Amino acid sequence: MIKSQLRKLTLGLALSIGVLALVACGSTRPKPAELPPIVGQKPVETLWSFQLGEVKLSLVPSFTAQGQVVLATSDGDLLTLQMSDGKLLQKVSLNQRLSAGVGSDGKRHAVVTRDNQLITVADGKEAWRQTLSAQVFTPPLVAGERVFVLLADRTVQAFDGATGRLLWTQSRAGEPLVLSQSGTLMPFGNTLVAGLSGRLTGFDPTTGQMVWEAPMASPRGLNDLERLVDVVGLTYRSDPYLCARAYLSQVACINAQRGQAVWTRTSQGEQGLSGHGSTVVGTESNGLVVAWQRDSGDRLWESDRLKYRRLSAPLVTEASIWLADDEGQLYLLNIQNGQLIHRSALDGSPLAAPPIQYQGVVLLVTRKGLVRAYRGA
């Protein structure tokens, strides 16, 4: 899994065969223990299901103010569904393989192709496209009449949403390895926040000027792989805090109003964080699920019930933690103590996107294209 997440910035920066072999061996883990039946299992209510095509891109579903969700498939189909019943409202076929999507403000949808084309769609058709200088694995952000992208070489760019004109570019030198998984690109008030080389960085979205920078982790180690500390996955926002993960090294919460780190903790995880109120939750590479106190970083509990399973990023609701494993099993844990309270089958494939919630509805999307909406619990 780790091996498949690595990409090179240039052809001249190839990993040695020995390092790749070590990565492959390191990905071998003990077989998970069989889980006994859950006594008093908490039921979950399925509201609707929909079948997409194959989803093998960095996908984050995008919700609109009109109560719709915009999704994408690997083959370049953009689909808009009604969140209330899963009805298909619109389908736009770009006929190009995608690497990341979907950014949307309800008017414009943005995706990136595997050959580095940033494409926006408006009114059911392509509006414009721009060729990017590097691959993209993080869905674009569409906000404030602009389209923002985070490139794999740790460059952030802003484009005019209507015309596609390049407005500004900010670049940061980093380690030669990059991750082919989604990073952090999000708004916080009037600030654009991007995860760059183990740091959360705030930019003025109008000019691209850096406003603040909060270190989370520093590259360490004897080889490129060990020095890889990019910020990965979704970030938990709980004003004024942003809590995020640096790949296989740290979790941290920062004060995004001041751009200062509040705490950092060592954590060997690969997926983003979620939370509710003062509880922050993440999954470790060995299948542990860990909860931290948002203000202090104190560890509240850890659960080993799913140890050695390859787990998705979590979604934390008011009462439960939603996550799935790479064999297509859905799990719910009690937010107070990590107790396993629900298990059920999806379609036998991993999640294509982290579980996500919209107005009390939890949405899951699998690699095989199953879209399923549940009443939040």
* pLDDT tens readout for residues 229-285: 899 989 999 999 999 999 999 999 999 999 999 999 999 999 999 999 999 999 999
Query: What integer is the mean pLDDT of 302-309?
Result: 96
Q: Does residue 367 contact residue 354 with C-beta atoms inside 8 Å?
A: no
Residue 39 has pLDDT above 90, yes or no: no
Confidence of residue 36 (pLDDT cuts 50, 70, 90): confident
Residue 5 has pLDDT above 80, yes or no: no
Question: What is the structure's pLDDT at 50?
Answer: 98
Confidence of residue 174 (pLDDT cuts 50, 70, 90): low
Question: What is the structure's pLDDT at 11?
Answer: 31
Between 149 and 197, whose confidence is greater?
A: 149
Residue 162 has pLDDT above 50, yes or no: yes
pTM of the model: 0.91
Residue 74 has pLDDT above 60, yes or no: yes
- Say which CATH class 51-171 falls into: mainly beta
Domain ranges of the chain: 51-171
Question: What is the structure's pLDDT at 224?
Answer: 65
Confidence of residue 222 (pLDDT cuts 50, 70, 90): low
